[in-house]
Amino acid sequence: MIEVIKLSKEDPSIDKLWSNILTDSFNYSQKKYGYNKDIGKDIKLFWETIQKDFVYVVIKQNKGIGFLFFELKDNVLSFKLFMYSRACPMSLRTLLKVAIFRFMLETLKEESDIKSLSFYTWHPSIVSLAKMYLPKLQITMYTPSDIDCFINSITLEEKELFKIILNKSIKQNINIENYDEFKIVV
């Protein structure tokens, strides 16, 4: 089972455990993908660097595997995934699955402004996983390790498909308007 927990930078419960997972995942992902930004173990610098009010921590089999956050700009939702250094390499696929489910939940909200989705990846297996849940996903491959994935518009038909997928994948009944934390059946 996969659990998703929303952590706010104002949350007093962000103790050493959460700080370690967040900073380590950030540093590991930055290093792995060729960026030179290292924030050490400074949780305040972490929040200043990502410039977000909250992140979603993903836990699989009672172990933190990383976190993700979303950006909404001009009605296009994008996301960034950060994997914990001690997580299995396949955990990136789990993080992607959580990001896709969050995207689906966001688009189903009544007041949703989301018109499209866009994200970059470096591995074709990530694309194939995304296409399992988002069949209308379009791909532009600049190089074998630089792939742009996007959905230009979300139709009512796709929203109905999202509801079916979510009902099969999410363990508890979810109020679409209030679903910050949820569990996914794997």
Degrees to nearest 5, angle at CA 10 with 63 and 57: 20
> pLDDT (tens digit, 9 = 90+) per residue, 14-34?
777 788 899 999 999 888 777
> pLDDT (tens digit, 9 = 90+) per residue, 33-76?
777 778 889 888 999 999 999 999 999 888 899 999 999 899 89
Degrees to nearest 5, angle at CA 82 with 76 and 38: 115
Query: Which residues, in sequence order, are CB contacts of 163 under 8 Å at separation 6+?
Result: 108
The helix (run of H) or strand (run of E) holding residue 160 is helix 156-169
Number of other CB atoms surrounding residue 39 within 10 Å: 18
pLDDT at 177 (0 to 100): 47
Query: Computed over its alpha carbons, how large is the radius of gyration of the chain?
Result: 16
Q: Where are the alpha helices (DSSP H) in 1-123?
A: 16-32, 43-50, 91-108
pLDDT of 186 > 50? The answer is no
